[in-house]
Amino acid sequence: MRSCGWSVRARYVVFRSLLNSWRTSPATRRPTLTTRTWRPSRLWSGENQSVTGRTCHQDDGLLVSGRVTRYEVRTLLSMLRTQEQLETWQFLPALMSLNEAHTHLNKFSACVQSRETRRLLFRRASQEPELIQWLQRLRAALVATFSLYFREVLSAQSSGSEFKALCAKTAADHFARLQSFQRKMDAALVALAFDGTEEAVRGGLGYRHPEQRVPPAGQHPKPYPAVLCCSKSDVQAALWPEVVAALAEPKLELSSSRVSHAWLGPSAAQSAFFLAISDCLTLVVVFDGRRSEKDSYVTSFMLETAAALRCSKIYHSLRPGAK
């Protein structure tokens, strides 16, 4: 069984519903101006003339505020959509959404920093809004997660040294951290497993035609493919069937907040730790020999890795009083 709590999909759906209710609310509609006194040129002339009881300055402020809000909402929706598609391992949709978020964020930043917006919204020229800084951090975290989940595809587009240098420039080099942990702890395997048994899951590497049918649940050719793997030489091929068998075991209670433990092999010679990153992704760590299921260093590392991939710290910074 799997328990992942409040998912990104739920955040996205709730935010869309709030946006729709905001659009239909009478308080947020543009004020109606009569045909007799309405002249569009007045909005851009800069003159402080009255139009049906409202000054042109107020009307300018409404238009600029609406434009700023539109870019802000589009940016956030694109980022939430990107994270949802990353958690279901969809390469092309996540790439397109990430590019869309980048475009909307640049437009949002340019709109806020423009002279007209600063004049109407009373912002200083050198002051960058904290919201833009937060969105930039979220986008950087999504880029780092994207480079980890689709490392196999992206690394084929460049040389090994060039790709390694590009990953080092991201907000967090997750693969280097996983690889360092595997070598330091002498772990047999550190990997991310994708659950392909879920219905309507279109995850996988590369491109997929939108009309291509998804195999029925339980009939996927590779129900638990490895998203990435750091292991000792020739260990993945021998251990992965055991990992898949453990993931398919109903007794294994996967959780997003608690590390699960299981013994692998017919003689239970290996210790395996599991932590759900999302509904479809699981972090797996396997050690040769028996290891305590309460190993604090291993569990804390897995929890920190999962929080980084979910961008939890960035979302928690929105709480009042958070630093």
What pLDDT, in 10s, does the model give residues 265-283?
777 788 999 999 998 899 9
Instruction: Write out pLDDT tens, residues 33-43.
Output: 333 333 433 33
Span(s) in the chain for CATH 1.10.3450: 12-151
| The two three-digit tokens of residue 64, written as one number | 């600029």
**Is the pLDDT at 249 greater than 50, yes or no?**
yes
- The percent of residues above 90 in pLDDT, for the chain, comes to 37
Q: Comparing 232 with 178, which gets the higher pLDDT? A: 178
Please check the confidence at residue 53 and state whether its pLDDT lies above 50.
no
DSSP 27: G
Give the tens place of pLDDT for each residue, 189-209: 999 999 877 654 555 666 666
pLDDT in tens, 99-130: 999 999 998 888 887 777 666 665 565 667 88
CB 69 within 8 A of CB 28: no
Split at pLDDT 50, 70, 90, the class of 9 is low
pLDDT at residue number 111: 82
Q: Could you report the per-residue pLDDT of 272-314, keeping only the tens digit for each? A: 999 999 988 999 999 988 888 888 999 999 999 999 999 999 9
Q: Which residue has the higher pLDDT, 52 or 322?
A: 322
Both tokens assigned to 254: 């996967």
List, by residue range, all CATH 3.30.450.240 domains of the chain: 173-206+219-314
Contact 57, 48 (CB under 8 A): yes
Closest of 268, 284, 306 to residue 87, by C-alpha: 306
Q: What are phi and psi of 157, to 5 degrees?
A: -90, -5
Residue 79's pLDDT is: 95
- pLDDT tens digits, residue range 123-153? 565 667 888 899 999 999 999 999 999 998 8
pLDDT of residue 291: 86
CA-derived radius of gyration, the chain: 25
- What is the model's pLDDT at position 32? 42
Q: What percent of the chain has pLDDT over 70?
A: 68
pLDDT value of position 40: 39
What CATH topology corresponds to 12-151?
Hyaluronidase domain-like (1.10.3450)
pLDDT confidence bin for 217, thresholds 50/70/90: very low
Question: Is the pLDDT reported for residue 66 higher than 80?
Answer: no
Domain 173-206+219-314 has CATH 3.40.50.2300: no
First-to-last alpha carbon distance for the chain, in angstroms, is: 35
130-149 vs 296-310: helix crossing angle, rounded to 10:
120
- pLDDT of 61 > 80? The answer is no
pTM equals 0.77
Pairing status of strand 270-276 against strand 50-51: unpaired
The mean-pLDDT minimum among 15-29, 134-148, 229-243, 250-264 falls in 15-29
**pLDDT of 20 strictly over 80:** no
Higher pLDDT: 14 or 164? It is 164
